[in-house]
Amino acid sequence: MAKRKLNVALIGYSFMGKAHSNAYRQVARYFDLDVEPVMKVICGRTESKVQAMRDKYGWEEYATDYRDVINRPDIDLVDVTVANNQHAAIATAAAEAGKHVLCEKPLAMNVAEAKGMLAAAEKAGIVHAICHNYRKAPAIALAKQLIDEGRIGHVYHFRGVYLQDWILDPSFPIVWRLDKSVAGSGSHGDLAAHLIDAARYLVGEITGVCGMMDTFIKQRPLLADFDDRLGGKASDQMGEVTVDDSSIFMARFAQGGVGTFEASRFCAGRKNYQRFEINGSNGSLAFDLERMNELEFFDRTDPAHAQGFRTITATDGCHPYAGNYWPAAHIIGYEHTFINLLADLLKAIAEGKAATPNWVDGVKNQAVLEAVEKSSAARGWVTPEA
């Protein structure tokens, strides 16, 4: 029986555009789905670049105006991978046009925008999703399974860091991620957002935060040209950096646990170091994105003489998502988290069910991000208001 075709429009073609394009090309090769994505059209403002990306990534067509794309009757799913300040307008318009929508994180520039997007999606009755792809790493999904099974007991601590070093050089230019009017925030929305989503997914809702945010290098060269690997070419003119370089906060969870969160792009030697540890009454779990196929597990109920952290290589067929790829210990990588997320989204669309994570999660994550910003300014505890 022929599978139902789902025509996709991708808005944006840079770093995330590459990751999402690869996922659309690969997902049906690894997952047995009732719907099959068709890479119909890729959209971007610069015609020469988006045309080149159409050819490189394997899309059928290209366009330069998202309005033309989202109103096409042959488009079923709109995928938004542009800069943060464009998420709300494009994703809301797509939802109002009756399209299912996948949007990159953070969902919006602020809570008000995020709530407006969610309201539009719920009114339209479409399937909506946010690209917190790390939830879909087999090791993190396994951590969720172990926590839900009660294997580590009541959770007392979540301790997370997300550290990079790609803007340490003061001569690095002001790319859009360093411009508050485009990004909304710096390391906070880019990196801490992933930690917040992981913490909410694994531990529960966050009820209070107290944080501080700092900018270490306040002036940088303006951007002359960008590339698709986070960087770009610097000009000889200087400009103001308007986002945070570092975000650190404490948190309280609804279930009684506490947490610490740190996100920074000023940690020499740390390239994409996302690590968290969760401590419970019966054990602990730890995850390191740079060793993403592994989950560390400590079980207090083991006999005393046999206790110790064990490393689970989460690649066996019984582990979440892993059975769709290779034999045990034949590891997968960063790009597979997008494939896994897309497989779940396509299944949700086929079944007419809610995707996970979705814009409800996006609003709640945005509320925590915004509360930390308020806390940093007020120098006190703030309650997230989702």
Q: What type of residue sits at position 120?
A: A
Q: What is the DSSP string of 133-165?
A: GGGGSHHHHHHHHHHHTTTT-SEEEEEEEEE--
**Ranges of each domain in the chain:** 4-133, 136-356+363-378
Q: Going edge to edge, which strands form the sheet with 206-214?
A: 206-214, 246-253, 258-264, 155-163, 273-280, 283-288, 294-299, 310-313
- Using CA atoms of 182, 262, 264, 185 in order, give the dihedral in degrees to the nearest 10: 10
What the block records as the tokens of 223 is 């951007």
248/216 Cα distance (integer angstroms): 14
* The one-letter amino acid at 98: G
Is pLDDT at 228 greater than 70 in this prediction?
A: no
In this structure, are residues 197 and 357 in contact, taking their beta carbons and an 8 Å threshold?
Answer: yes
Q: How far apart are the first and last CA of the chain?
A: 44
Give strand ranges (E) for the chain: 4-11, 35-43, 61-63, 77-80, 100-103, 128-130, 155-163, 206-214, 219-226, 232-240, 246-253, 258-264, 273-280, 283-288, 294-299, 310-313
CA pair distance 2, 5, nearest whole angstrom: 9
Determine the 3-state secondary structure of 85 from DSSP. Answer: helix
- Amino acid (one-letter) located at 239: G
List, for residues 278-329, the tens digit of each pLDDT value: 999 999 999 999 999 999 999 999 999 999 999 999 999 999 999 999 999 9
How large a percentage of the chain has pLDDT more than 90? 95
Mean pLDDT, rounded, of the chain: 96
| pLDDT, average across residues 124-148 | 98
Q: Does residue 227 surpass a pLDDT of 90?
A: no
Answer yes or no: is pLDDT of 229 > 70: no
Can you give the pTM of this predicted structure? 0.96
* pLDDT in the model for residue 3: 86
- Indicate the fold that domain 136-356+363-378 takes in CATH: Dihydrodipicolinate Reductase; domain 2 (3.30.360)
Q: Which residue has the higher pLDDT, 226 or 284?
A: 284
pLDDT digit string (tens) for 81-115?
Answer: 999 999 999 999 999 999 999 999 999 999 999 99
Q: How confident is the model at residue 1 (pLDDT cuts 50, 70, 90)?
A: low
| pLDDT at site 370 | 98
User: DSSP alpha helices (H): ranges in 31-110?
Assistant: 47-57, 66-70, 87-96
Query: Would you say domain 4-133 falls under CATH 3.40.50.720?
Result: yes
pLDDT at 169 over 90: yes
* CB-based contact 24:39 (threshold 8 Å): yes
Structure-token pair, residue 129? 């999703």
Task: Summarize the confidence of residues 24-51 as an average pLDDT.
Answer: 97
Q: What's the confidence (pLDDT) of residue 234?
A: 87
Which pair of tokens denotes residue 65? Answer: 């105006």
* Closest alpha carbon to 255 in 276, 281, 234: 281
Rounded Cα distance between 64 and 69, Å, is 9
Nearest CA-CA partner of 355 in 10, 110, 21, 77 = 77
Q: What average pLDDT does this structure show over 58-75?
A: 97
Helix, strand, or coil here: 207? strand
Structure tokens at 79: 């995928």
Structure tokens at 188: 């906070």
